[in-house]
Structure 1
C-alpha cells in the first residue's frame, strides 16, 4: 500500500477536523470479566426490533439488570414487559423517554428507536448522566453526528454504537490479512447488500394511529403527516423523514469494514446513481437499487444495494470484497476467504465465523462502562459518526444527482443543493441542541 495509507492515523486529521469525528479501528479484545460489583441498571428506549435484541444481549452479562422500558407504542411496551415478567424481571414502563432518563434507577440506556430520534435521545441521555448503547446508524444527518460526538465528549459518557461486526473475530482476522499486503495493491473495494427478503411496500391509505400509540411522540422532530402504516415500525427505513434506506441501514455495516481495511477516511468525491427500479410504484421513497462510488487517491470504494434479489457479487447477498492485484478477499457475516488472481497467490478457504458478534459487542460495552474506559469500546461514538457521515454522503450524492466534494475547511460541499442536506430538517418545535 502507498504511503498515504500507511500513514493513515497521522493524516486522517482532515476528516476529523471537518465534522469532529475520525475513523476508529476496533480495539483489541478484552473479554476478562470484572469481579463482583454493583449491578448496572439498564433502561431501553424503543424496544420493538433491534432495541430489544440489544437489551437482551446486554442482559446476558451477569452484572446487569433491566429496570426500565420505554416505547411510544403501549402495545409493544406491554408485550415486552410481559416477556421480561415471565423471566422474573419487572422493569418500570414509560411512554415518554424523558421520564425514563429522569429515573434514578437507570445507569445505562439502550436507544433502539427510528434513526430520526437517535440524536435528541442520545444527547438528552448524555446530559442526564447516562451511558448509552445506540443503534446504527448513529445519526440521520451529518450535523446530527457532529452534535452527538460533542455531547458524548462534553458529558464524558461511554457511548457504544451498535455496529457489532467490530466485535467479531473473523472480521478482525480478515482485516489483518488485508493489512498484511498479501493481496497486493488494492485498487477497488466493493461493499454491497442485496436483500431478497425486502419486498415491495404496497401503497396504503392514511388513517388513525393504532390505539395505544403516541403518534406525536413517534414523529418527534420529523415532519407532521397523517399516520400511515407504511411509515411505522420497521418500514420507517424507506422514508427520508426518518432514515436513509439501505445506504445507511446496511451501508454503515459493510462500508465500515471497507474503510477499516483500507485505513481510509474522507473520499475525494462521491457520486451515485440508482432509483426505484424494482418497485417504481410502491410506497417507499428511498432507492431500491443504488450504486455509489467513493473516490480516494489511489483506489475506489463502490457500494451496491438492491431490494428483492439475493444475487450479489461472489454469490453472497451482502459483503465486502478487497480486490488486489494478487487476489481478492471476500468478507461477510458468515466468514471470509481469499480468491487468488490466477497463480499470483495461494487461495485461503472459507474461514467461518466462530462467535456471536452482538453478544460480544454488548459485553464490550458493559466492560467499558464498568472500567470507565472509552478506549475499550469496539465502536465508540466517533467511529459510529464517521461511517454514518460517510454513508450520508452517498445518499446526498444520490439525492442531488451530482458528483459532490466535501470541503473540510468550510464543513460543506460548496454546493447549495448538497449543503441543504447536511442537517436534517427538524419540525414540531424540536431543534438540535447547540453544544
Structure 2
C-alpha cells in the first residue's frame, strides 16, 4: 500500500486554539511499517467495547491511550502503564504525531467523526467502531478522506470474520435460490425511548463531561446519558439501527455487493408519539430500494427494529436460532444469521452446500494490521465497502426521523421528495468543534 508522505502543514494545536474557529486538520506524517515491524498504535476510548479492541491490537506497540473516564479506563491504563495517557484525543494526536502509525477509535457514536478525521488527515491508519459516524454527512466525509489519504481502514464489524457469514455469502452468490429480489433484516427487542432525566447530579470526579459531550450541544450531566444510555439519545447515538444495522446488513451487503440505495422509505409510518426529537425509538420498519448493479438486480432491502416472525411464516420457512436475515429469490429463500444459513427451495428440493470460495480471515483486527503494513485492504475498509454500508444504515434512521421516504442521489449527495430530510443528514456541531469539508 502506498503510504502518505512525511510533509506536514501547521496544525491547530490545542483545545483552546481549536475552540476559536474551524478545525482544518493537516497532512500526514506517519512513518512506514514493514510486515515484520510492529505498529505504534493509539487507542481512543479503552473501556467497554474499547477494551475488546485493545485486546485485538495488543500484539502491536500501544504507545498512547485516551479516555475521558478514568474509572472505565482504569484497568487498561494500569495494564499499559508505559503508554502515554490523555483525556483529549486532539492533544494526543498533535503531540504524538511523529510516534503514532495507527489509531483505534471506540467512543460513543457522536465522537467517532472528529478523531477519525484528524487521524486520517495526519496519515494515520484507522480502525473505528460502527456505525462509523453519527450522520450520513460525517460518513461520507470520512469515506472521502480515507480515499484521499490512502490509509488502511476497518469498521468494527467483527462478525464479518465469522465462517458462517462467509458460507452464507457463497450460498447466495451460487444462485441456488435464483435472483434475489427482496431481503428482510431485523434486530429484535424494544430498546429505546429512555426516561427523560428530571434530576442532574454532580458530574463524577472521574469523568470529563465536557470532553465526553465533544461536538454535541451542551447539556447537564445525567446517568441517563452516560456511561451507556447515550446510544438511545439522538444527540449522542443512533439507536438500535446504528448499534446493530452495520452488523446485520453486512450479510446482504457482502452477499449482493450492495452500494447505495436510490430510494429510502418506511414500511410502517410511525405515530406522532414514536418520533421523538431527543430519543431513539423502540421499533421502526424501513426499506431501501437498490437499482440493478453488478452483483444483483433491482431489489428491496427491509431494515426493521422488531420481529421478522410473520415474514418468516409468510414465506414458509422456519428460522434457525440467531437468524436475523431472509433472502427471497426466484427459486426459494435463505434464512441466515452470523453463524450460518438454511436454504428452502420452492420445489422442495435439497440443495448441496455451496462451494467454498472465501478464504478464512486471519482475524478481524489482524486484517487491518496487515493492511497497515502494506498487505491487502481489510474486508471492512471504509472506501470499498463500509462507507456505503454505514450510509445506508443511517439513511434508514433519517427516513424514520423525517417521517417519510425520499429519493436519494448518492453521487450528488442529495435527497428529494421530503423537505424534512436534510436536517437529519447533516451534523450540527457546537462552537469550537466546527470543521471545514474536505
TM (norm. structure 2) is 0.79
Structure 1 residue aligned with 2:26: none
Structure 2 residue aligned with 1:96: 88
Match among 365, 368, 375 for residue 365 of structure 1: 368
Cα distance between partner residues in 2 of 1:231 and 1:310: 32
Match among 72, 77, 92 for residue 76 of structure 1: 72
Cα distance between partner residues in 2 of 1:296 and 1:150: 22
Matches within 5 A, 1:7-406: 37-59=36-58, 61=59, 64-82=60-78, 84=79, 90-101=82-93, 102-103=95-96, 104-195=98-189, 198=191, 201-204=194-197, 205-272=199-266, 273=268, 285-297=279-291, 298-306=298-306, 314=319, 316-317=321-322, 319-346=324-351, 360-371=363-374, 373=375, 375-382=376-383, 383-406=385-408
**Unaligned 5+ residue runs, structure 1?**
1-33
Secondary structure of the corresponding residue to residue 116 of structure 1: helix
Cα distance between partner residues in 2 of 1:286 and 1:406: 23
Shift of 1:311: 10
Shift of 1:41: 1.7
Shift of 1:326: 2.6
Q: Deviations over 1:218-265 (max 9, x none)?
A: 111101111111111222111111221111211112112212222332
Note the aligned Cα RMSD (angstroms).
3.2
Cα distance between partner residues in 1 of 2:311 and 2:405: 25
Secondary structure of the corresponding residue to residue 51 of structure 1: helix
Shift of 1:77: 2.6
Q: How many residues align?
A: 385
Contact 1:202 1:283 (C-alpha < 8 Å) held by counterparts: no
Secondary structure of the corresponding residue to residue 335 of structure 2: strand
Structure 2 residue aligned with 1:27: none
Q: Deviations over 1:1-34 (max 9, x none)?
A: xxxxxxxxxxxxxxxxxxxxxxxxxxxxxxxxx9
**Unaligned 5+ residue runs, structure 2?**
1-32, 292-297, 313-318
TM (norm. structure 1) is 0.80
Cα distance between partner residues in 1 of 2:246 and 2:53: 17
The structure in which a higher percent of residues are helix is 1
